[in-house]
Structure 1
Amino acid sequence: MRPVPSVNVHAVKMRQSDKELFSFFIRGAHILELADIARLKHSAGSEIQGFQRPEIKAHVKAIADYLSGGDVLFPNAIILAIAADAKFLQKRGTKNASVDSASEVGVLSIPVRAGRKSAWIVDGQQRALALAGSGVPDLYVPVVAFVSSDITVHREQFILVNKARPLDKRLIDELLPTVGTVLPRDLSTRRLPSLLCAALADTPGSPFHQLVKRPSHAYHSAVVNDSTLINLMRRSLQDPRGALAAHVDTDGTADTDSMYRLLVSFWAAVKDVFPQAWGLPPDRSRLMHSVGLTAMGILMDQVMTRPGNFGGDYVAAKTILTRIAPYCRWTEGRWEALDRDWNDLQSTNKDQRLLSNYLIQLERDVSRASAA
């Protein structure tokens, strides 16, 4: 049996937690021979695969042009995850009492296989693409690699590396539900709304099924940005009086099943009470616009926390929404009490407050009148 060819590099090895780390230099043109780019996409079963953004061609070309310009400095390390079958052979005689003993020096051998790569790019895909297309075969670049074939670990590191960079927050939000490890506090608080958003978008029977636009894909029927839903759920969780916050125990444990049922009950009622406005593009329906969804999300907190409706009663929600329906102008006409045309309301804090305050007061008024 012929041995699997490999790329051999001088490397420094150390360990962090339960992972082996390596630092080395390699020809930039070889990186894509070893490493795959796990693009963010959805499988046929709507499971998230990969994590990397699409290639930014203009960015890649700019880097490639720079590299092709001659005498260049390229000190930015590319981060790789490598498979466990990479072999490290420590060099003899490298121990030195005056050197920190946390690291070892040796030769790292990374297999080069046809079809199935031995590594995955965690950070630096645009640079790797530029290096491959630059026509500069002998430029050596720094690499930091850790041993792991677990896509969840790759995603976690991708998020952490890009957290302080101008990475699309929607991309982070979509990836968060797939990361099960401990994250910084600000990301952990974002994880639950992202998980609920994914469930609403992908579950048949959800009123938002195939209506949500996400970085990885968008159904032809998608009309709602995931960030709008995530933000309204985050607000409901952070407000002690919020409908979702009511399903978080004092120890911080969240009853996600109850939250999901509540969301489905309320928004299914919205869909059924306003069928002519549901599922249309935002320029044809202000209900599907961020200003309408945000205002209705705030109304949800009032409607679904009412005594007797804690469990998210669809019938109760529909009854309440039916009472306010005659006063709503989602697709045509004019909001008389606001003195605004239906399509004049925009995604500004001022308009969101204006509409949400009106809907809250309207619901209170019609509910009192109905009880009288």
Structure 2
Amino acid sequence: MARTKSEIVIRALHTKQGDDLDVFAFFIRGADIVKVADISRVERDESDALKGFQRPEIRSHVKGIVDYLNQGKVLFPNAIILAMSPEVRFAASRGTKPTGDEGIANIGTLTIPVYQEGKRVAWIVDGQQRSLALAQASKLEVAVPVVGFVSDSVEVQREQFILVNKAKPLPSRLINELLPETGGILLPRDLSSRKVPSEICGLLNRDPNSPFFKLIKRPSDRGAGSAVVTDTAVISMIRNSMNNPLGALAIFRTSSNGRDGVDLEAMYGLLVTFWSAVKSVFRDAWGRDPRHSRLMHSAGIEAMGVLMDRIYGRLQPSDDVKIVEKELQKVAPHCRWTKGVWESLGVPWNEIQNTPRDIRRLQNALVQAYSVAGVGR
């Protein structure tokens, strides 16, 4: 492996995949990975656009790998996956192909420019902790396998990041936040079904006209002091309503040519209307830390989502906030979001926990209170 001050030159195999993307397989010194590749951590810029796709460094994991590498002669066959800029250069080797070669890949020389951090020509899609550990290990000469695909598209990079990490212990909240940013790419069905709720969750958090504006905790929102509701709770509330045949959002699902579709604008409008009414009726409990308001707790959000479905069983999707407020007022006297005891449950307000049992009991209490109060307009 030859090297200069500003580039690393290595032998590599080259092939094509996907939409005519160049893919390379090669070995590189472990310590050199972080010299050619940046770690693109997920965050949002000043305009609230999502940047990057990596999870934050896990120190204990990195230390464990470093300790392993420092043992001496170790086997390290796990490939790092890189997204590479078109700035990398490949020169195929000349010569006669071996007899029987199926022509799947060509061998040649790959030249990777070396730039300063933040401006490097590659990004780590899979292997963030391993790459950091390799850079810190005392044994710096270990040859590490790398698979790199050439694409400047962040959408393609995020797609590969999600697909690679789908079967690993990647935080579901991070996957949920990344999914809406993957554009029109084809994803496995189980991931596609999560895309719409996450997209709506992001809109609710970013829209100044939303009752949830800047109240939802997302993995990229570091130090967002006003955020009190987990995105997991909001996404679950939306997904449950979409998947329930009698749910308030289910009517906005469509099917054409065997593919599911949604009226995203209509779903979003209904959610803004309903939760704006919730904010108005339960003003003292809205926007507070879940430790001080179970309305903003995951249990409260999911249970109120079930009540939303029941209320819209009697209302029209086009009904305005005032009409929804009138329905919520029927339940308000029975709610104990910030103090007191839930009479129908026999438990203090702050003993409601984010467990399936408590969520089910709370939603039943809300639905029962609504039914007893009468559902007439």
Which of the numbers 203, 207, 211 marks the counterpart of 1:207? 211
Which of the numbers 231, 249, 252 marks the counterpart of 2:254? 249
Q: Answer whether contact 1:27 1:139 (CA < 8 A) is retained.
A: yes
Indicate yes or no: 2:265 matched with 1:285.
no
Which of the numbers 249, 267, 272 marks the counterpart of 2:280? 272
Indicate yes or no: 2:323 matched with 1:332.
no
- Coordinate RMSD, CA, aligned: 1.6
How far apart, CA to CA, are the structure 1 residues paired with 2:190 and 2:250?
Answer: 17
Q: Secondary structure at the match of 1:22?
A: strand
**1:97 positional shift:** 2.7
How far apart, CA to CA, are the structure 2 residues paired with 1:211 and 1:62?
Answer: 36
Please tell me the residue identity of whatever aligns with 1:11.
Answer: A
How far apart, CA to CA, are the structure 2 residues paired with 1:83 and 1:4?
Answer: 19
**1:361 positional shift:** 2.3
**1:306 positional shift:** 2.4
Partner residue, 1:82: 84
Q: Secondary structure at the match of 2:300?
A: helix
How far apart, CA to CA, are the structure 1 residues paired with 2:96 and 2:350?
Answer: 72
Q: Answer whether contact 1:270 1:321 (CA < 8 A) is retained.
A: yes
Which of the numbers 148, 157, 160 marks the counterpart of 2:160? 157
Q: Aligned pair in 2 of structure 1 residues 312, 15: CA closer, same or farther (>3 Å)? A: farther
How far apart, CA to CA, are the structure 2 residues paired with 1:177 and 1:102?
Answer: 34
How far apart, CA to CA, are the structure 2 residues paired with 1:86 and 1:42?
Answer: 28
CA deviations on 1:209-244 (whole Å, 9 max, x unpaired) are 111111112510111111011111111111111111
Q: Aligned pair in 2 of structure 1 residues 321, 143: CA closer, same or farther (>3 Å)? A: same
Q: Where do 1:175-186 residues align within 5 Å?
A: 175-180=178-183, 181-186=185-190
Partner residue, 1:310: 317
Please tell me the residue identity of whatever aligns with 1:53.
Answer: R
Q: Secondary structure at the match of 2:262?
A: coil
Q: Secondary structure at the match of 1:143?
A: strand
Which of the numbers 187, 191, 198 marks the counterpart of 1:194? 198
Tell me which moved more, 336-345 or 100-109: 336-345
CA deviations on 1:124-177 (whole Å, 9 max, x unpaired) are 011111111113232111000001111111110000000001111111001001
Please tell me the residue identity of whatever aligns with 1:58.
Answer: S
**1:94 positional shift:** 4.9
Q: Aligned pair in 2 of structure 1 residues 94, 6: CA closer, same or farther (>3 Å)? A: farther
Tell me which moved more, 345-354 or 150-159: 345-354
Identity of aligned residues (%): 48
Tell me which moved more, 50-59 or 352-361: 352-361
Structure 1: give runs of 5+ residues left out of the alignment: none
Please tell me the residue identity of whatever aligns with 1:248.
Answer: R
**1:310 positional shift:** 1.6
Q: Answer whether contact 1:324 1:362 (CA < 8 A) is retained.
A: yes
Indicate yes or no: 2:127 matched with 1:120.
no
Structure 2: give runs of 5+ residues left out of the alignment: none
**1:15 positional shift:** 0.9
Q: Secondary structure at the match of 1:9?
A: strand
Q: Secondary structure at the match of 2:145?
A: strand
TM-score normalised by L of structure 2: 0.94
Partner residue, 1:342: 349
Partner residue, 1:7: 8
